[in-house]
Amino acid sequence: MTVPKTSVLVLDCAEPEALARFYASLLGAQVGPAGADGDLLLVAGTSGTVLGIRRDPDHVPPSWPLPEGSQQPHLQILVAPEALDAAEREAVTLGARPVGAEGEESRPGSRTTQRRYADPAGHAFVLVAVPAPSA
């Protein structure tokens, strides 16, 4: 018998409250504590998205993308193709920083179907244009 479980991606940062607000705003989600100590916050969205944000006073932002082109673990946020430009403007307005691998376009108005960013604490995420499934 398998014990029921759930999982959550946890991002470490020095200021979890600010990063949790960033992702809550970006994802249209709510923030709540994940325990009594306040060092772990959960960002939960109506689409079932749950993201943990944990306090680490010694956090060092990751370097991404790496010059060698290696892709580190990252969050992918799926959007409709027609909403990609608007999602990008929203992310940048909230504090995301566009990043790109060598030779890759990653700027507002780019024609690519995915766009890479660093959140305010330096973690990688990608906005990916995904068409709605056909009926």
Examine the pLDDT at 12 and tell me if it is beyond 80: yes
Q: What is the chain's mean pLDDT, rounded?
A: 83
Distance of CA 103 to the CA centre of its chain: 23
- Cis peptide, bond prior to residue 65, ω within 30 of zero: yes
Q: In CATH, what is the architecture of 75-129?
A: Roll (3.10)
pTM (2 decimals)?
Answer: 0.78
The domain over range 9-55 is classified in CATH as 1.10.150.120: no
CA 25 – CA 47 distance, rounded (Å):
14
Examine the pLDDT at 61 and tell me if it is beyond 50: yes
CA 20 – CA 44 distance, rounded (Å):
10
Q: Name the DSSP class of 114.
A: E
CA 51 – CA 92 distance, rounded (Å):
19
Q: What is the pLDDT of residue 106?
A: 44
Q: What is the pLDDT of residue 46?
A: 85
Nearest CA-CA partner of 100 in 131, 69, 73: 69
Parse the chain into domains and list their residue ranges: 9-55, 75-129
Q: Which position has the higher pLDDT, 67 or 1?
A: 1
Q: Which position has the higher pLDDT, 39 or 66?
A: 39
